């Protein structure tokens, strides 16, 4: 029996390189009776088992102390948050708030579970401390290191046994035993292969969060390069100068990738937005032509629906042909809705219109279920007739003008009811569980839907 002296992975035969951590000349012979756990693992790996006999193990998780971040990371009940061991990449534009949210998470985890190491390669310890003080994110178990050399982490991990380590950022960390500048592809790959066995140490499994800036010029290895080396990639997004932040995952081995987290940048750092629907609808002016509320959900695996207002306005200029601008909406879908409205629903005058459209509040709405709301908003603007009060609209619109069912209808209806809506205009849905307080209005075609929706 051979065991790697770095990561303790066992192997039945001698190899020059460890199969797990990829380090060279590190396998040492050991008496098999002393490596019971590893022997089991080898047996496990070398045998095919009937699927009916395999136990499903639940991932062990630690909460980040932030509901919206936990939601994206995944988990159920009390077992939510970051899986240990795992490597999670937090990607986003510079200045969007990655360091802010991570120092908050670091303090929460330190308070809830145990030691945390935060390595900052960009800012001094004093700068991070000043921010943490302002945010109330201080705890004696949160340790800061200001270094660009990753090797410094290893000894500290052995000394402090952290439950979480944060590396801010991959682009400023360097491994001395590998070639290349900090941030180069070789270095970034080297960093993840260094951290993986450290996260998975026997008796001390920790989560690791890596920060990766989205780089426009590609000079440094961006999040895309890292995506296949980590277990989850989270994108932290938002518009500069606006408080809304959305956390979504591009990849997550431990959760679906459609659940999103909604947060707000405030004086006290990032705060969970408890009810995104209420937040997005807060300043809505109902009773105007061109505004329609829809419920977005993301996908079939998602656990939350969010209500968003879709707005459409026509420009006063005469356009040579249809012009569409779309913010927070898929421009191609808006153009397609114009075509279906003109050809299949008898809505005239769109071929030379200048259309401004958008989803209010900063959320990107890119699901098919928003089709009907977009189409109804355009029709409402053309006819200068507002939609009925208390109405919510969702459904996919086909090219023949037919309405198609969309997933998660019940979740969307429940959210509409919770926000005080009373009617829902939807596709024909054969089986739709009723929701208290919501009158369901089914339409087969877009033309029919427009007649039902407009006052
Ligand atoms: P930061 O976390 O440094 O961004 P990143 O690590 O992604 O580069 O965020 C910096 C911005 O956040 C900065 O413009 C100021 C703003 N900010 C707040 O609005 N409120 C706060 O409490 C903090 C700490 C930062
Ligand atoms: Mg930062």
Index of the ligand 1 atom closest to the CA of residue 269: 22
pLDDT digits (tens, 9 = 90+) for 315-367: 998 889 999 999 999 999 999 999 999 999 999 999 999 999 999 988 889 89
Q: What is the pLDDT of residue 217?
A: 63
Per-residue pLDDT tens digits for 210-244? 999 887 765 556 777 888 899 999 999 998 888 99
Which residue's CA is the closest to the ligand 1 atom numbered 1? 97
CB within 8 A of 105, min separation 6: which ones? 64, 65, 66, 69, 164, 166, 209
Cβ 289 vs Cβ 427: under 8 Å = no
pLDDT of residue 36: 45
Taking only the tens place, the pLDDT of each residue in 13-63 is 777 777 777 778 887 777 665 554 444 445 567 888 899 988 888 899 999
State the distance from the centre of ligand 2 to the C-alpha of 212, rounded, in angstroms. Answer: 9
Please report, rounded to a whole number, the percentage of residues in the chain having pLDDT higher than 70. 95
Looking up tokens 């061991």 gives 85
Determine which residue's CA is closest to atom 10 belonging to ligand 1.
95
pLDDT at 1: 73
Average pLDDT over residues 138-149: 96
Instruction: Return mean pLDDT, the chain.
Output: 91
Q: List, for residues 170-213, the tens digit of each pLDDT value.
A: 989 999 888 988 888 889 889 999 999 999 988 889 999 999 98
CA distance 419 to 286: 14
CA of 308 to the centre of ligand 1 (A): 26
The burial of 284, by beta-carbon neighbours within 10 Å (0-12 exposed, 13-18 middle, 19 or more buried), is given as: middle
Residues in contact with ligand 1 by the CB-under-6-Å rule are 92, 94-100, 131, 135, 265, 267, 269
Q: Provide the percentage of residues in the chain whose pLDDT is more than 90.
A: 70
**Under the phi-then-psi rule, with left for phi > 0, alpha for psi from -120 to 50, and beta for the rest, what region is 224?**
alpha
Q: Which atom of ligand 1 is nearest to the CA of 92?
A: 7
- Residue 39: predicted pLDDT: 42
Calpha distance 406→415 (Å, rounded): 16
pTM (2 decimals)? 0.83
Are 251 and 90 in contact, with CB atoms under 8 Å apart?
A: no
Per-residue pLDDT tens for 260-300? 999 999 999 999 998 999 999 999 998 999 999 999 997 66
274 Cβ contact list (under 8 Å, min separation 6)? 67
> Is the pLDDT higher at 18 or at 159?
159
Three-state secondary structure of 256-279: CCCCCEEEEEECCEEEECCCHHHH
Is 371 a residue whose pLDDT tops 70? yes
Kindly identify the ligand whose nearest atom is closest to the C-alpha of 104.
1
For ligand 1, the distance from its centroid to the CA atom of residue 70, given in whole angstroms, is 20
Rounded CA-CA distance 415/296 in Å is: 10
């Amino acid at each position: 029996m051979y065991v790697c002296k770095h990561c303790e992975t066992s192997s039945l035969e001698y190899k020059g390189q460890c199969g797990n951590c990829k380090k060279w000349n590190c396998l040492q012979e050991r008496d098999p009776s002393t490596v019971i756990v590893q022997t089991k693992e080898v047996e496990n790996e070398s045998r095919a088992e009937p699927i009916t006999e395999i136990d499903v193990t639940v991932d062990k998780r630690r909460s980040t102390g932030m509901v919206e971040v936990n939601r994206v990371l995944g988990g159920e009940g009390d077992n939510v948050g970051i899986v240990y061991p795992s490597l999670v990449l937090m990607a986003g534009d510079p200045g969007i708030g990655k360091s802010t949210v991570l120092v908050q998470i670091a303090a929460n985890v330190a308070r809830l579970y145990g030691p945390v190491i935060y390595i900052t390669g960009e800012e001094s310890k004093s700068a991070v401390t000043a921010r943490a003080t302002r945010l109330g994110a201080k705890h004696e178990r949160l340790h800061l290191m200001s270094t660009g050399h990753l090797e410094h982490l290893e000894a500290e991990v052995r000394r402090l046994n952290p439950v979480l380590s944060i590396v801010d950022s991959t682009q400023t960390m360097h491994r001395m035993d590998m070639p290349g500048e900090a941030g180069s592809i070789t270095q970034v790959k080297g960093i993840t292969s260094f951290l993986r066995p450290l996260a998975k140490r026997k008796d001390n499994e920790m989560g690791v969060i890596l920060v990766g800036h989205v780089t426009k010029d590609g000079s440094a290895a961006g999040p895309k390069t890292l995506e296949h080396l980590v277990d989850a990639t989270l994108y932290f997004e938002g518009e500069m100068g606006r408080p809304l932040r959305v956390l979504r995952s591009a990849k997550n081995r431990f959760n679906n990738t459609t659940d999103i987290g909604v947060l707000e940048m405030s004086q006290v750092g990032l705060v969970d937005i408890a009810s995104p629907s209420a937040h997005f609808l807060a300043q809505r002016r109902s009773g105007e032509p061109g505004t329609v509320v829809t419920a977005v959900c993301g996908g079939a695996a998602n656990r939350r629906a969010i209500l968003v207002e879709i707005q459409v306005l026509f420009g006063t200029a005469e356009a040579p042909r249809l012009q569409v601008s779309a913010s927070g909406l898929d421009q191609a879908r808006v153009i397609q809705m114009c075509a279906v409205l003109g050809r299949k629903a008898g809505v005239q005058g769109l071929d030379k219109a200048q259309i401004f459209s958008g989803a209010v509040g900063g959320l990107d709405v890119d699901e098919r279920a928003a089709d009907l709301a977009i189409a109804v908003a355009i029709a409402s603007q053309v006819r200068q007739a507002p939609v009925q009060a208390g109405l919510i609209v969702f459904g996919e619109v086909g090219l023949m003008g037919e309405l198609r069912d969309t997933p998660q209808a019940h979740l969307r209806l429940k959210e509409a009811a919770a926000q005080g809506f009373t009617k829902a205009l939807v596709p024909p849905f054969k089986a739709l569980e009723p929701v208290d307080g919501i009158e369901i209005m089914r339409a087969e075609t877009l033309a029919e839907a427009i007649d039902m929706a407009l006052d």
